[in-house]
Structure 1
Amino acid sequence: MEEAKARRAAEALFNEHKTGVPFKTLDAGSGLVSIADAYDIQDRYVALLRASEGETIGYKVGLTSKTMQVFCGIDHPIGGVVLARREHASGAGVRRGDYGRLGLEFEIAVRIKSDMPASVATSAAVAPHIDGVCAAVEVVDDRAADYSALDVRSLVADNSWNAGVVLSKFAANWPDLEAVSGKATKDGTPIGEGFGRDVLGHPFNSVAWLNAHLASRGGGLRKGQIVMTGSVMKTVFPIEPAGYRFELAGVGAVEVNVT
């Protein structure tokens, strides 16, 4: 994508967030035609965020389950960047008023043990490069998007809506992640559940997809980075103060307090 157009589109996104503009499809004049264009804009938008949000500490993969793909009308995963000041420990509080529309996604996160070669393309090949697994909640801001007319390219350009992550402690040993169950509650009442297999068949498949995506753009996963592998259930949009908990069997639990 033409550098000047990518930069202008990124600056427009940055200003929309600052002024509270609802999510909208980037107009034809932005030059956004392909998914590759969308990641070009995302790169420049994230660069603008770094001044206040810190450096890249990892990535999110979205739309990894059939449930979420159907919800958003999209048939493939997408990626986004997680920045340092957007990482929070279990028990963190988030304010609905700080977002256009706050969403919570309940996930399995992993920590990268060693730099991942571009050739890594399967869950089995990913496994030796992982040194920790945890229960996680992704904080997303869809800015009150209209899902009936969602443009995936504009979504990707907007850093795939990542607004933060909340993590439990990483476990050095974990059960079979294909079969592992995750259960979410709101103030102790069950609100949803899913399994590791709901994330592209296995959460490590999500990591492999992300590594291939990054390699196609000259990058790759690096030691110490975290990967949010994708939600095991449909996004929850809090409309009132509440405490949310996501428990990943045999791994741990993460809590988020919404005000």
Structure 2
Amino acid sequence: MPNPATSTTDLVAVAETLRRAQADRTPCAPVRDRIADADIDAAYAIQQMNIDARIADGQRLIGRKIGLTSPAVQAQLGVDQPDYGALLSDMVLPENGRLHLDDILQPKAEAEIAFILGDGLDMKMPTVVDVLRATQFIAPAIEIVGSRIANWDIRLCDTVADNASSGMFVLGSPVRKPEGFDFTGCGMRMYADDNLVSEGSGRACLGNPLNAVAWLAARMQAMGAPLRGGEVILSGALGPMSPLSTPCHIRAEIEGLGTVAFEFGE
């Protein structure tokens, strides 16, 4: 439960500030100073309020994302632990689809591995073996993150409250079974047009993306909202985020898995 020092009124007010920033297309000031004692549980409560509001407006929960798994991304944002957010049905961008300049506030792209679960992960202390057994397919993915916080001036409470700085995501092809895939050694390269803008490997994601999904499964089971069969899990960045500011073609290649791409700009 949130720290008692953070009142329900405070939580509602911060949630409304973030919703208004999105609706007005105008980033807001950081919210961390409005969350007493940097209370992460309170930040997650704010996140859930806005997820509930979007579901009430007709969206559907389709999965989860793990953020801040890459040391490079942690260094970019000045945080030292992962977080998680919700994926909703209006966050899917078709492969090779077009993301317009104003679709996401302050967008950045990061390449990662998506897990499509065939079975749920409702057990205490799930292991990477449990994750492998539950995973039906894996696919290359690009998450387009965005921040309702001006200038990406965020700390952990800011990004957690802001649904882990979620925006949209693209799933690539082909999908494949996870058996035999080199989760740690797979290399990743992401290009804007023909310019290399990010590179890394599976090791950048908590040492192995399977570790990240196991971490998330444990957190969600403890929260009473375990991961379910059919959900899409974005396991975390394999390299640094790349800002998006001018029209370009974004393409990511993950060794042994495939490619994923989208168009950015009008």
Offset of residue 176 of structure 1: 1.3
Pair 1:56–1:45, CA change in 2 (3 A): same
Q: Do the aligned partners of 1:53 and 1:84 also contact (CA within 8 Å) in 2?
A: no
Q: Which moved more, 1:168-177 or 1:87-96?
A: 168-177
- Counterpart residue type for residue 181 of structure 1: G
Write the distance in 1 (CA, Å) between the matches of 2:176 and 2:196. Answer: 24
Secondary structure in 1 aligned to 2:93? Answer: strand
- Counterpart residue type for residue 237 of structure 2: S
* Residue 161 in structure 1 maps to residue 165 in structure 2: yes
Q: Do the aligned partners of 1:13 and 1:158 also contact (CA within 8 Å) in 2?
A: yes
Write the distance in 2 (CA, Å) between the matches of 1:13 and 1:257. Answer: 27
**Number of equivalenced pairs:** 258
1:203-233: CA deviation from partner (whole Å, max 9, x where unpaired) = 0111111111112221111000011111111
Q: Do the aligned partners of 1:6 and 1:31 also contact (CA within 8 Å) in 2?
A: no
1:45-104: CA deviation from partner (whole Å, max 9, x where unpaired) = 111122456111001111101111111111100101010121123101101222321111
Which runs of 5 or more structure 1 residues have no equivalent in the other structure? none
Paired residue for 1:34?
A: 39
Offset of residue 168 of structure 1: 1.0
Pair 1:145–1:15, CA change in 2 (3 A): closer
Of residues 117, 126, 132, the one that matches 1:112 is: 117
Of residues 55, 59, 75, the one that matches 2:60 is: 55
Offset of residue 192 of structure 1: 2.1
* Residue 219 in structure 1 maps to residue 213 in structure 2: no
Q: Which moved more, 1:113-122 or 1:57-66?
A: 113-122
Offset of residue 151 of structure 1: 2.4
Find runs of 4+ consecutive structure 1 residues off by over 6 angstroms: none
Taking structure 1 as the reference length, what is the TM-score of the superposition?
A: 0.92
Write the distance in 1 (CA, Å) between the matches of 2:49 and 2:211. Answer: 27
* Residue 121 in structure 1 maps to residue 126 in structure 2: yes
Pair 1:53–1:73, CA change in 2 (3 A): farther
Alignment RMSD (CA, Å): 1.9
Write the distance in 1 (CA, Å) between the matches of 2:160 and 2:16. Answer: 15
Write the distance in 1 (CA, Å) between the matches of 2:109 and 2:62. Answer: 20
Q: Which moved more, 1:21-30 or 1:101-110?
A: 21-30
Write the distance in 2 (CA, Å) between the matches of 1:30 and 1:182. Answer: 37
Offset of residue 30 of structure 1: 5.5
Of residues 244, 251, 257, the one that matches 2:257 is: 251
Q: Which moved more, 1:29-38 or 1:8-17?
A: 29-38
* Residue 175 in structure 1 maps to residue 156 in structure 2: no
